[in-house]
């Protein structure tokens, strides 16, 4: 997306924008609703789905088209809805929080990507990238992303490290839930949580129905459920919730421990995204409050010239993340500011705007 005004000279400051969350639209991308001022809530998109006999594309209907309102200096983009600041306190109060008391008042997430194919460089970990973006927009920013092998003890150790981190409130594990012997996430999760493995009857029944339909469609030789199929229904005891997974056999699950929520999701991108958008997000992440994100864009700017300013902002605005991101293809330098308090973020933007003018880079307004 280019926000440069027509006729803007090199070195002139471009427009800024604010990003906030929205339910996904076509192909799992949120629609953009441009407004003159940030809104507290955008109209939700309705999701339509049905159970299918084999993985299929997500059935998502988008009701908002992309529109743009150009302002004099700043274009605000609101990706709603944004939840109340009370977050989980309100969720627990009205019964939607499933009784969990989070360890900290600021929600932070971690992602654990599990699979030899990821660590070995055979498969690109697109799941973690997608999850990190969605969690940021929903108000549950990611503290770290970790990729580990399909080794039971390594999975156990990593989950326990996440449980011991006081800053993390939500842990998202993806991968290792399939029917083959190298899919070991459920058994490792059971050990990490100190729980036994049990057969979840609802998951087994769903697997049996899916196997039967696949046999009737000529995709399987036998309607009998194999040991490989059945092991996908063996999960750690005492889940807070079991997700259905309408596009595959392995269920997604969530557990509560140490004041945190631990999610285990399939590694197949289509299945993971389906569970997340249709079930997990509306049930467990609807109360998040997204951070305010503002960007200033410069053309042909030298990144090193911003170093003294960024060091100063790091000290004077420790609650606002300020980063510089050069794009050598477009010759743009993006200064991105992110924080929980919109006023503090705006204050940083104004400092960068003023100091950049002193460096000879003027704002792009007429």
pLDDT digits (tens, 9 = 90+) for 256-312: 999 999 999 999 999 999 999 999 999 999 877 777 888 888 888 888 888 899 999
d(CA 70, CA 67): 10
Residue 227 and residue 172 in one domain: yes
Contact 85, 289 (CB under 8 A): yes
Domain boundary among 231, 256, 284: 284
- Number of Cα atoms under 13 Å in the Cβ half of residue 329: 1
Residue 127 and residue 268 in one domain: yes
CATH number, domain at 193? 3.40.980.10
Q: What is the pLDDT of residue 106?
A: 60
3-state secondary structure of 113: strand
Q: What is the mean pLDDT of residues 119-145?
A: 94
Residue 335 forms part of a structural domain = yes
The residues near 106 (Cβ < 8 Å, ≥ 6 apart) are 167, 340
| Rg of the chain, C-alpha, whole Å | 23
Residue 120 and residue 267 in one domain: yes
Contact 36, 74 (CB under 8 A): no
Residue 326 forms part of a structural domain = yes
d(CA 190, CA 204): 18
The residue that leads in pLDDT, 144 or 17, is: 144
Residue 203 and residue 297 in one domain: no
Domain boundary among 242, 262, 284: 284
User: Quick one: three-class SS letters along 182-226?
Assistant: CCCHHHHHHHHHCCCEEECHHHHHHHHHHHHHHHHCCCCCCCCCC
d(CA 34, CA 344): 22
Q: What is the pLDDT of residue 332?
A: 86
Residue 15 forms part of a structural domain = no
Over pLDDT 70: what percentage of the chain? Answer: 70
Residue 67 and residue 92 in one domain: no
Residue 366 forms part of a structural domain = no
Residue 120 and residue 247 in one domain: yes
Residue 100 and residue 77 in one domain: no
The residue that leads in pLDDT, 208 or 64, is: 208
3-state secondary structure of 249: coil
Phi, psi of 178 (to 5 degrees): -80, -170
Domain range enclosing 104 = 88-284
pTM of the model: 0.64
- Number of Cα atoms under 13 Å in the Cβ half of residue 119: 13
Residue 115 and residue 238 in one domain: yes
Q: What is the mean pLDDT of residues 114-127?
A: 96
d(CA 18, CA 74): 9
Domain boundary among 232, 262, 284: 284
Q: What is the pLDDT of residue 129?
A: 96
Helix, strand, coil percent values for the chain (each to nearest 5)? 30, 20, 50
Residue 242 and residue 143 in one domain: yes
Residue 120 forms part of a structural domain = yes
Q: What is the pLDDT of residue 342?
A: 87
pLDDT band per the 50, 70, 90 thresholds, residue 107: confident
- Number of Cα atoms under 13 Å in the Cβ half of residue 181: 0
Q: 218-239: per-residue pLDDT in tens?
A: 988 999 989 999 999 999 999 9
d(CA 213, CA 149): 33
**Residue in this structure with the two tokens 């053309």, named with its chain if needed:** 299
CATH number, domain at 337? 3.30.300
Q: What is the mean pLDDT of residues 13-28?
A: 46
- Over 70: is that where the pLDDT of 58 sits? no
Please state the domain count of the chain: 2
Residue 122 and residue 215 in one domain: yes
Contact 190, 231 (CB under 8 A): no
Q: What is the mean pLDDT of residues 69-90?
A: 33
Residue 68 forms part of a structural domain = yes
> What is the DSSP secondary-structure string of 51-88?
--SS-----B------B----SS--EEE------TTTH
Q: What is the pLDDT of residue 102?
A: 41
Residue 96 forms part of a structural domain = yes
d(CA 201, CA 312): 58
Residue 3 forms part of a structural domain = no
Question: How many angstroms separate the first and last alpha carbons of the chain?
Answer: 21
Lowest mean pLDDT among 85-89, 230-234, 351-355: 85-89
Residue 112 and residue 227 in one domain: yes
d(CA 288, CA 280): 13
Residue 143 and residue 240 in one domain: yes
Q: What is the pLDDT of residue 261?
A: 97
């Amino acid at each position: 997306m280019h926000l440069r005004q027509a006729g803007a000279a090199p070195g002139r400051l471009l427009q800024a924008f604010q990003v906030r969350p929205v339910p996904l639209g076509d192909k799992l991308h949120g629609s953009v609703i441009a407004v003159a001022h940030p809104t507290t809530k955008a109209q939700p998109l309705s999701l339509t789905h049905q159970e299918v006999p084999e993985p299929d594309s997500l059935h998502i209907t988008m009701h908002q088209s992309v529109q743009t309102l150009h302002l004099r200096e700043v274009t605000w983009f609101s990706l709603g809805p944004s939840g109340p600041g009370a977050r989980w306190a309100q969720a627990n109060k009205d019964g939607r929080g499933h009784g969990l008391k989070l360890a900290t008042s600021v929600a932070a997430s971690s992602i654990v990507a599990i699979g030899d194919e990821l660590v070995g460089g055979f498969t690109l970990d697109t799941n973690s990238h997608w999850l990190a973006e969605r969690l940021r927009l929903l108000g549950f920013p990611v503290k770290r992303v970790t990729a580990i092998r399909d080794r039971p003890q390594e999975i156990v150790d990593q989950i326990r490290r996440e449980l011991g981190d006081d800053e993390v409130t939500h842990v998202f594990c993806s991968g290792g839930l399939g029917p083959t012997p190298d899919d070991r996430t459920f058994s490792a999760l059971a050990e990490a949580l100190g729980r036994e493995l049990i057969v979840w009857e609802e998951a087994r029944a769903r697997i049996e129905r899916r196997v039967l339909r696949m046999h009737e469609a000529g995709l399987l030789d036998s309607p009998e459920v194999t040991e490989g199929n059945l092991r996908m229904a063996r999960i750690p005891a005492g889940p807070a919730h079991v997700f259905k997974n309408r596009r595959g056999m392995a269920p997604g699950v969530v557990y509560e421990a140490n004041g945190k929520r631990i999610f285990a999701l399939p590694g197949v991108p289509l299945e993971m995204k389906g569970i997340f958008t249709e079930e997990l997000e509306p049930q467990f992440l609807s109360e998040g409050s997204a951070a305010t994100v503002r960007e200033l864009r410069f053309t042909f700017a030298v990144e090193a010239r911003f170093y003294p300013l960024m060091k100063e902002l790091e000290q004077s605005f420790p609650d606002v993340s300020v980063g510089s991101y050069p794009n050598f293809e477009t010759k743009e330098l993006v200064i991105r500011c992110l924080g929980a308090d919109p006023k503090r973020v705006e204050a940083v933007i104004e400092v960068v705007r003023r100091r950049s003018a002193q460096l000879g880079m003027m704002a792009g307004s007429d």
